Structure 1
Amino acid sequence: MMKVSVTANYFDLSDKDLKQMSQLGVDCVDFGNGSSFPGVKEQGYPDLDALLKQKRRIRSWGLDINRVTLPNITTNFMNDGIGSEVEIENAVNAIKVFGEAGIKIVRQRFAGDVFPGLTTTYQAYQRGGVISRGESLGFTKEKAITPTLDESLKWREKFKEVYRQLVQTAEDYEVKIGMHPSDTPNPDTPFGGLGYHRIIDEFPNKNVGYIYCVGTRAEEGGSSLVLDEINHYGRKGRLFLIHFRNVRGSLATTKAFEEALLDDGDLNMFKILLELKKVGYDGCINPDHVPIMEGDLPDTDVNWSNSNIGWSSSSIGFAYSVGYIKAMLTALHEFSG
């Protein structure tokens, strides 16, 4: 049966954080920042004892750790920087630590998987003044320079160099590697529609799959694309985690999009849950990039200044999203048996 997880971008969750998550009925925590784990800054990968201690603490509140993030693969590595091969070693060691801790889903971030400067980001306002992220192709008069075909092929080779080692270790430690799609999914981005699918062609190992972001993929092609991809990846058993986000518009239709509350975008989110159930998905549903509601103290950064990118205590937007998802999951169970 599907569960609910929330993303935290910091490791030291307070009792208030965990108490609120427990009260809302959250099942699991996803850790979205690979550098937040104790040990990463000191030795390059997480400390097992500190991780196990935090896992026990999280479980004492009736929750568990679902997905974690490996140390980043940086621009230095992707450009063949001197000494950058240690980044693969750190990622491999991190998988070993997470595997020993009994954590089964990891994500690897890669520098250069998005092409910034092709869209103009703006602050969108929706019902009652809700703030959300918007991006437009039309407002962008001077486009940033994007990689050539040869540069993209070289980038892909560096990606495969990393994944070849990660996949072997993941198999040895019974860990799944899920990739998030490129956000924003501009043409030719490494993990836009074509490049995203290519991952499981290049690495057919069953431990390789997706952190499938409904909103990001809707940005590229709307509801029909999302439903088709869920069906395709889901029946192959490659959906490891679902980022549950609604949007208005898409780059393909309106040349712009805006993130939206779950009940207020173009997508029928219940229909998406039905499709997930049809393909046998039983992992976590994770509300992400939650629009900012009155009274929120959002977790933002320079790249995502108009949405809650991760859990923040007393976040009204997260409370709304978790409750909405839990109600739909209950209805799904009654509807489909």
Structure 2
Amino acid sequence: MKLTLQLSQDFTEDDLRYAQQIGVEHVTVSSTGGGRDFFRSVKQRVDAAGLILTNVGNTDVHNMPSVTLGLPDRDQKIDAYIEHLRAMAEIGMTYTTYAHMANGIWGRDRRPARGGASARSYTDGSATGFWAGTTYPSTGFSHGRAFSEDEIWDNFAYFVRRVVPVAEELGIRIGLHPDDPPGVPLGGVPRCIASSWEGYQRAFDIADSPNFGACLCLGTWLEGGATMGRTPTEAIRGFAAQDKLWKIHFRNVSSPMPDFVESFIDSGYGDMREYLKTLAEVGFDGTLIVDHVPQMIGDSRNAWSWSIGYVKGMMDALGIPTA
């Protein structure tokens, strides 16, 4: 497994040394806008530090309302996504994550996790959404009207039928991230695709490609609880059996919807040791990142150090090597 540290687009040389010091060989870098020059610079800096780059994200082509809702500029946004794929291929990347959400991640409010650590939370009916600098209120429509599930599915099909042939040409796998949170309509937009096992299977059928699979965010899957149609363990085994399990977001939550707080790995209701053990049993060799960590007191790296150290300890106890 490629245990991976997330870095921001303005990462420093100290951030690279930090990755080395905590014993992580792989890093992923987020960005807004991305672009070939930026991607090349990131790859050169990571390589020079003796680390391995697993992915460079780009929020401009992730959670795109124009694509999810079929707005007038969707073809321009799809063209931008295809350019993102080509920029990734140019620096040797073979994987990228995609989320088909129109109005971002909901539940920005912070509530205390263990010991008062600040954590994202969600309460049905009062949560707000956020993505790439835009906030969506808890009431009303985020994009002027209510959309139907058929519209969301039709727009998904339009997108994947344009981008999947390019991904196949370039040798890039696209992993579909679960809706966060899953299932419930938010801002008048249904979350009907990456919100259940059945939704994923329908999405796979539409894409009809070995290059389209799953980014399994365990925290999001746990948010959905029984509504996901499979337990996290069953989802791991099922996606792996289809050769469509390529990335894991390794996080936990206090409880399933309608109310949850993101928790430390060891204090939520999910059995993270069992999930890690199952990943090893199915031969998972993709990227595993800790994600959405509760913020601890002191240095901002404390929460990442604790979380990654905990995962490394479990991997050692289970006899799981890191790539």
Paired residues for 1:16-95 under 5 Å: 16-35=14-33, 37=34, 46-47=35-36, 49-70=37-58, 71-72=60-61, 74-95=64-85
Residue-by-residue CA offset, 1:26-62 (whole Å, 9 max, x unaligned): 2222233352x2xxxxxxxx22x54233212202222
Question: 1:14 is aligned with what amino acid?
Answer: T
Q: Distance in 2 between matches of 1:152 and 1:334?
A: 41
Query: Residues 65 and 334 from structure 1, CA distance in 2 versus in 1: closer, same or farther, beyond 3 angstroms?
Result: closer
8 A contact 2:99–2:179 mirrored in 1:
no
Residues 295-337 of structure 1: CA distance to partner in whole angstroms, max 9, x if unpaired?
143xxxxxxxxxxxxxxxxx100011111111111122179xx
Alpha-carbon distance in 2 for matches of 1:19, 1:294 = 22
> One-letter code of the match for 2:148?
E
Q: Secondary structure at the match of 2:283?
A: coil
> 2:122–2:260: 8 Å Cα contact kept in structure 1?
yes
Long gaps (5+) in structure 1 = 38-45, 298-314
Q: Which amino acid aligns with 2:161?
A: R
User: Which deviates more from structure 2 when the two are superposed, residues 172-181 or residues 160-169?
Assistant: 160-169
Deviation at 1:289, TM superposition (A): 0.3
Residue aligning to 1:291: 294
SS in 1 for 2:174: strand
Matched residue type, 2:90: E
Structure 2: which amino acid aligns with 1:106? T
Structure 2 counterparts to residues 151-190 of structure 1, below 5 A:
151-187=148-184, 188-189=190-191, 190=193
User: Number of matched residues?
Assistant: 299
Letter in 1 for 2:61: N
Query: 2: distance between equivalents of 1:215 and 1:121?
Result: 15
- 2: CA distance between counterparts of 1:83 and 1:221? 35
Instruction: Between 68-77 and 23-32, report the one with greater CA deviation.
Output: 68-77
Partner of 1:236: 242
| Secondary structure at the counterpart of residue 232 of structure 2 | helix
What is the TM-score when the length of structure 2 is the normalising length?
0.83
Relative to structure 1, the CA distance from residue 123 to residue 84 in structure 2 (aligned partners, 3 Å threshold; closer, same or farther) is closer
Cα separation, 1, equivalents of 2:110 and 2:119? 6
CA distance in 1, matches of 2:199, 2:205: 10
Q: 1:56 to 1:256 in 2, by over 3 A?
A: same
CA distance in 1, matches of 2:320, 2:181: 36
Distance in 1 (alpha carbons) for counterparts of 2:126 and 2:146: 26
1:258 is displaced (CA, Å) by 1.3
Q: Distance in 2 between matches of 1:81 and 1:138?
A: 26
Query: Corresponding residue for 2:208?
Result: 204
Say what the alpha-carbon RMSD is for the aligned residues. Answer: 2.8
Deviations 1:129-172 (A, max 9, x none): 222122122767x8656999962212222222121121111111
> Please, which runs of 5 or more residues in structure 2 have no aligned partner?
128-137, 185-189
Matched to 1:9, the amino acid is S
Q: Which of these residues, 267, 271, 279, is aligned with residue 270 of structure 2?
A: 267
CA deviation digits over 1:93-133, x for unaligned, max 9?
221221121111112344526685xxx66432233222212
CA distance in 2, matches of 1:94, 1:123: 32
1:258 pairs, out of 261, 269, 283, with 261
Query: 2: CA distance between counterparts of 1:261 and 1:83?
Result: 40
Whichever structure has more strand as a proportion of its residues is: 2
Cα distance change, pair 257–81 in 1 and its aligned pair in 2 (3 A): closer
Residue 117 of structure 2 corresponds to: 130
Distance 1:54 1:33, change over 3 A: closer
Matched-pair contact (CA < 8 Å) for 2:296–2:303? yes
Relative to structure 1, is the Cα distance of residues 75 and 267 closer, same or farther in structure 2, using a 3 angstrom cutoff? closer
| DSSP-derived class of the 2:208 partner | coil
Query: SS at 1:163's partner residue?
Result: helix
Q: In structure 1, which of residues 98, 104, 122 is the aligned counterpart of residue 88 of structure 2?
A: 98
Amino acid in structure 2 at the alignment position of 1:103: M
Give the secondary structure class of the aligned counterpart of 1:162: helix
Taking the aligned partners of 1:6 and 1:154, their CA distance within structure 2 comes to 36
CA distance in 2, matches of 1:98, 1:240: 16
Q: Is the 8 A contact 1:287 1:321 kept in 2?
A: yes
Conserved 8 A contact 2:218-2:249: yes
Distance 1:90 1:145 in 2: 26
Using the size of structure 1 for normalisation, the TM-score is 0.79
